[in-house]
């Protein structure tokens, strides 16, 4: 995802969903096992030129993170759009399109889901919510106990604690407002021999984190 800013989008009318029919008339997600890429495809009809399509991903079907966007080409005809997620983080993953019109109103598609086989311990899906809590996910191939450690570039340990992991997606939240801007690492080590994983991120300020 490069330097894409991470932020959470909550479901529901409170985010500005409007009553007019959306122009997205079809949306699908397909996981390519060979390429390890999720291919997204959506179809629009009568989408005004310049309208924005925000691609969102979730591990719980409630809290979605933006992973990319594209702009409508306009026109009265049916149009097809494609987007690849090259970093699916495993387990059951939900995708949707947030269609944003010129006034900033959002119209959401129904979520499309894929199931990626979990073959190793993974950590990712970092985002910050409206209360400035930082969320992340650990995807585990087995039920286990793991140690989560937060360290900085100098090796200083800021957090260290044990968690119970279930097989599949495990979601966590923590308060990092006490940290100064800089580079940090979440490290997770399975205590039952399931391996380890690490997530590098940069804290810009209390509301902005980048991978």
Residue-level pLDDT at 3: 33
- Report residue 55's pLDDT band, with 50, 70 and 90 as the boundaries: very high
Greater model confidence, 9 or 66 = 66
- Report residue 160's pLDDT band, with 50, 70 and 90 as the boundaries: very high
pLDDT of 176 over the 90 cut: yes
- How far, in Å, CA of 36 to CA of 87, rounded? 8
Assess contact for 72 and 50: CB atoms under 8 A.
yes
Pick from 94, 171, 183, 93: which is nearest to 127 by CA?
Answer: 171
- How far, in Å, CA of 59 to CA of 64, rounded? 8
- How far, in Å, CA of 6 to CA of 84, rounded? 18
Assess contact for 7 and 1: CB atoms under 8 A.
no
- Tokens 């699916």: give the residue: 88
What average pLDDT does this structure show over 49-66?
A: 92
% pLDDT > 90, the chain: 71
pLDDT of 162 over the 90 cut: yes
| Cα end-to-end span (Å), the chain | 7
Pick from 130, 139, 163, 122: which is nearest to 59 by CA?
Answer: 139
pLDDT of 39 over the 50 cut: yes
How much is the mean pLDDT over the chain? 88
- Report residue 20's pLDDT band, with 50, 70 and 90 as the boundaries: low
DSSP state of 207: T
- Report residue 13's pLDDT band, with 50, 70 and 90 as the boundaries: very low
- Tokens 């759009």: give the residue: 81
Assess contact for 181 and 106: CB atoms under 8 A.
no
- How far, in Å, CA of 173 to CA of 4, rounded? 20
Q: Give pLDDT tens digits for 113-135.
A: 999 999 999 999 899 988 999 99
The model carries a pTM of 0.82
What average pLDDT does this structure show over 187-209?
A: 94
% pLDDT > 70, the chain: 90
């Amino acid at each position: 995802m490069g330097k894409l800013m991470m932020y959470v989008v909550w479901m529901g009318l409170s985010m500005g969903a409007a009553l007019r029919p959306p122009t997205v008339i079809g949306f699908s997600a397909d996981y390519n096992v060979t390429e390890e890429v999720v291919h997204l495809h959506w179809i629009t009809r009568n989408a005004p030129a310049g309208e924005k399509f925000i691609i969102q991903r979730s591990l719980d079907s409630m809290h979605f993170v933006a992973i990319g966007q594209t702009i409508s080409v306009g026109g009265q005809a049916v149009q097809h759009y494609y987007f690849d997620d090259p970093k699916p983080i495993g387990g059951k993953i939900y995708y949707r399109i947030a269609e944003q019109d010129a006034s900033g109103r959002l119209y959401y598609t129904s979520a499309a889901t894929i199931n990626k086989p979990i073959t190793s311990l993974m950590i990712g899906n970092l985002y910050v919510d409206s209360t400035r809590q930082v969320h992340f996910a650990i995807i585990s191939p087995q039920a286990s106990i793991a140690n989560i450690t937060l360290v900085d570039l100098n090796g200083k340990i800021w957090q260290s604690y044990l968690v119970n992991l279930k097989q599949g997606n495990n979601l966590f939240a923590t308060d990092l407002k006490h940290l100064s801007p800089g580079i940090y690492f979440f490290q997770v080590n399975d205590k039952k021999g399931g391996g380890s994983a690490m997530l590098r991120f940069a804290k810009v300020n209390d509301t902005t984190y980048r991978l």
